[in-house]
């Protein structure tokens, strides 16, 4: 397989740190973005060409993406505390919703200007409206939610609309379950749609050149979400793990 040029936004996050070596091992060039100069050396050691840029600085982001000349842009940006401390989550949800709306808009514009063909974007699998379970990708999101959940879901809706409705960019949305494993807040799976961080990273790797544009639930088997589409179209399975 011929390697692609990848711009990985959020390369220093929990998924990004597991995804970068996967991409590099598969023969892809990886330009990995981070907001912190302190993370640049770590990204370089993982096989990425690091770039320090803030997704809210649209002009700087556009220059960074253009310089990478990506075939594919991968969006793994959030701004949540590593321990998911409840006292910090209210503000973090607001920051992440802004990333998903304004940040995604800047990233999509930069990807289009740079001539990227595909965008793979991180979403969440627990934003569905109440209804029969397990939820399929065609089920509605909880657009009427209030409070912190409302802020969260509106950010997700904005991200998904931008990813899926920005032709000629092919948008692939990965609705991830609740992460566990290295670099996350938990070593153990949750009771609701759990997902190991390595399997999350592997889904993004597969989505570069597997499956058509659209939405895919990415989680371990549970009563909450259906994952048959990802298994059939991406060739994804939840048991993937990076070598120890």
The answer to whether 170 and 213 have CB atoms below 8 angstroms apart is yes
Name the phi and psi angles at 198, rounded to 5.
-70, -40
Rounded CA-CA distance 58/54 in Å is 8
The number of residues in the chain equals 244
pLDDT tens over the chain, length 244 residues:
569 999 999 999 999 999 999 999 999 999 999 999 999 999 999 999 999 999 999 999 999 999 999 999 999 999 876 766 777 678 889 999 999 999 999 999 999 999 999 999 999 999 999 999 999 999 999 999 999 999 999 999 999 999 999 999 999 999 999 999 999 989 999 888 999 999 999 999 999 999 999 999 999 999 999 999 999 999 999 999 999 7
The answer to whether 6 and 30 have CB atoms below 8 angstroms apart is yes
Domains observed in the chain: 5-234 (3.40.50.720)
Predicted model pTM: 0.96
Rounded CA-CA distance 25/154 in Å is 36
Rounded CA-CA distance 64/109 in Å is 12
- Looking at residue 192, its pLDDT comes to 87
């Amino acid at each position: 397989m011929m390697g692609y040029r990848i711009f990985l936004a959020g390369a220093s996050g929990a998924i990004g740190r597991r995804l970068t070596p996967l991409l590099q091992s598969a023969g892809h060039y990886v330009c990995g973005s981070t907001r912190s100069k302190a993370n640049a050396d770590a990204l370089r050691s993982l096989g990425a060409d690091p770039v320090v840029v803030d997704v809210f600085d649209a002009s700087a982001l556009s220059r960074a993406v253009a310089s990478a000349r990506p075939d594919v842009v991968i969006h793994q940006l959030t701004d949540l505390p590593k321990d998911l401390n409840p006292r910090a989550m209210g503000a973090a949800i607001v920051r992440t919703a802004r990333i998903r709306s304004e940040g995604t808009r800047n990233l999509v514009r930069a990807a289009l200007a740079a001539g990227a063909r595909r965008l793979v974007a991180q979403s969440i699998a627990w934003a569905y409206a109440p209804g029969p379970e397990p939820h399929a990708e065609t089920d509605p999101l909880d657009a009427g939610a209030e409070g912190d959940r409302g802020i969260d879901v509106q950010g997700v809706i904005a991200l998904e609309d931008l990813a899926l409705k920005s032709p000629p960019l092919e948008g692939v949305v990965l609705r991830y379950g609740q992460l566990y494993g290295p670099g996350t807040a938990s070593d153990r799976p949750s009771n609701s749609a759990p997902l190991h961080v390595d399997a999350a990273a592997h889904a993004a790797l597969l989505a570069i050149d597997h499956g058509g544009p659209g939405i895919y639930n990415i989680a371990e088997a549970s009563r909450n979400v259906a994952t048959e589409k990802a298994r059939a179209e991406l060739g994804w399975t939840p048991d993937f793990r990076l070598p120890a």
